Amino acid sequence: MLGIYIHIPFCLKRCGYCDFCSSIADEGKISAYAEAVVRNIENSGCKGEKVDTVYLGGGTPSLLSEKDMAKILFAVRENFSLSEDAEISIEANPGTVSLEKLEAYRRVGVNRISFGVQSCKDDELYMLGRIHTFSQAVEAVRLAEKAGIKNISCDLMIGIPGQMLSSLEESVLKLCGLNIAHVSAYMLKIEEGTPFDCEKIRALVADDDEAADMYLLAAKLLGENGFEQYEISNFSKPGYESRHNLKYWTGEPYIGFGASAHSFFGGKRFFVPEDIDGFISSPLQKTVSEDDSPDLLSEYIMLGLRLVRGISLKRIDALGGSSKSFLRAAELYTRAGLMHIAGDRAFLTLNGFLVSNGIISALIDSQH
Ligand code: SF4
């Protein structure tokens, strides 16, 4: 079934490490943007399709007023065949929610919320340029629960400038102490052109070995506290995997609305340019082709090996590849304990995840 992604490119303040498409805007502009999203949903080329996940990402979707959130989700329901048990997720900044707002979101169908908590240490949050403190994050989780949103996820950042193993441990354990069902644990990546792209910050960031120790520690602690890893950066209580994000890794179709939103639909990959004003003023969103005939075999290997359950050898053959060549190339990694082959499945181990880019590109090369 189809997933819908809606990009909300507005934030109260830009964080120093972020290169996502977002800008600071007043309520009027955010509402005009929401109108444009609705217009595009009403006129999309895949109207009537069956949909079982809706994901509002950003930016900061929790900056949407109750009314704008209602309009967008109403448009989704009116123009798509939304399944009764659809997962409707929003990303939220802990510094931007109130009980009233969360209750209103819940009433219009939001049933999963992902808070960008990042750390339990206020000095680390300050370093990242975040607008919230950890106590605000704890309160935000409590309010979401009170509003009836039971499926709560928190983002955790690994490799924050100045972060130590001990402070990471404290952050993981404090997150595990909250009543949440899911944790996304991302390594900080210094993106070109961001304020973090400078020597001063680089000098404070963990080197590769330290970052590897941090990742392994986070995975171990999350596992010990009931969060099962299902993807390189994602951990959940049983049954609480992100159904929407799983679509990206398993090659299911999704359609994106909003500036910079990506789509995989009708066998093609395309995206909307990162022009927020252009998106608001155009009658319909412009799309740019990313790939008219994506190499599905390479994508299957690249995305599927992010998952703990890995990929199927039979599927490699079905997609026109050679499982024999794959297994020959994989031998080096299985001997090094970085990969496992079990029956029809091939998957990376936790240590394999640490060097996944190199392994995945070698395995893709084995198919050419
Ligand atoms: S709140 Fe999120 S999207 Fe906005 S600037 Fe910070 S990291 Fe980027």
Q: What is the CATH number of the domain that holds 321?
A: 1.10.10
State whether 233 and 342 are in the same domain. Answer: no
11 in contact with ligand 1, CB cutoff 6 A:
yes
| The pair of three-digit structure tokens given for residue 259, joined into one six-digit string | 């500036």
State whether 89 and 156 are in the same domain. Answer: yes
| The pair of three-digit structure tokens given for residue 368, joined into one six-digit string | 């050419």
Residue 12 CA to ligand 1 centre (angstroms): 9
Residue 123 CA to ligand 1 centre (angstroms): 17
Q: How far is CA 203 from the centre of its chain?
A: 27
State whether 231 and 302 are in the same domain. Answer: no
Residue 134: its pLDDT value, please? 97
Q: Which atom of ligand 1 is nearest to the CA of 58?
A: 3
36: pLDDT strictly greater than 90: yes
Domain span at residue 318 reads: 296-365
pTM exceeding 0.75: yes
Single out the residue in 209, 231, 248 at which a domain terminates.
248
337 part of a folded domain: yes
Phi and psi angles of residue 180, each rounded to the nearest 5 degrees, phi first: -125, 160
Give the containing element (helix H, strand E) for 274: none
Q: What is the CATH number of the domain that holds 125?
A: 3.20.20.70
Q: Rounded distance, CA 54 to CA 8, Å? A: 13
- Would you call 52 helix, strand, or coil by DSSP? strand
Residue 353 CA to ligand 1 centre (angstroms): 26
State whether 207 and 87 are in the same domain. Answer: yes
Residue 21: its pLDDT value, please? 86
280 part of a folded domain: no
Task: Read off the pLDDT of residues 209-262 as tens digits, 9 standing for 90 and up.
Answer: 999 999 999 999 999 999 999 999 999 999 999 999 999 999 999 999 999 999
State whether 192 and 75 are in the same domain. Answer: yes
| The pair of three-digit structure tokens given for residue 327, joined into one six-digit string | 């297994």
State whether 93 and 219 are in the same domain. Answer: yes
State whether 170 and 306 are in the same domain. Answer: no
Single out the residue in 248, 283, 312 at which a domain terminates.
248
276: pLDDT strictly greater than 90: yes
Task: Read off the pLDDT of residues 50-73 as tens digits, 9 standing for 90 and up.
Answer: 999 999 999 999 999 999 999 999
CA-nearest of 200, 32, 20 to 116 is 20
Residue 136: its pLDDT value, please? 97
| The pair of three-digit structure tokens given for residue 163, joined into one six-digit string | 């972060």
State whether 140 and 220 are in the same domain. Answer: yes
Phi and psi angles of residue 202, each rounded to the nearest 5 degrees, phi first: -55, -35
Q: How many structural domains does the chain have?
A: 2
Task: Read off the pLDDT of residues 77-135 as tens digits, 9 standing for 90 and up.
Answer: 999 999 999 999 999 999 999 999 999 999 999 999 999 999 999 999 999 999 999 99
Single out the residue in 232, 248, 264 at which a domain terminates.
248
Top pLDDT among 96 and 368 is at: 96
| The pair of three-digit structure tokens given for residue 124, joined into one six-digit string | 């680390």
| The pair of three-digit structure tokens given for residue 32, joined into one six-digit string | 């005009």
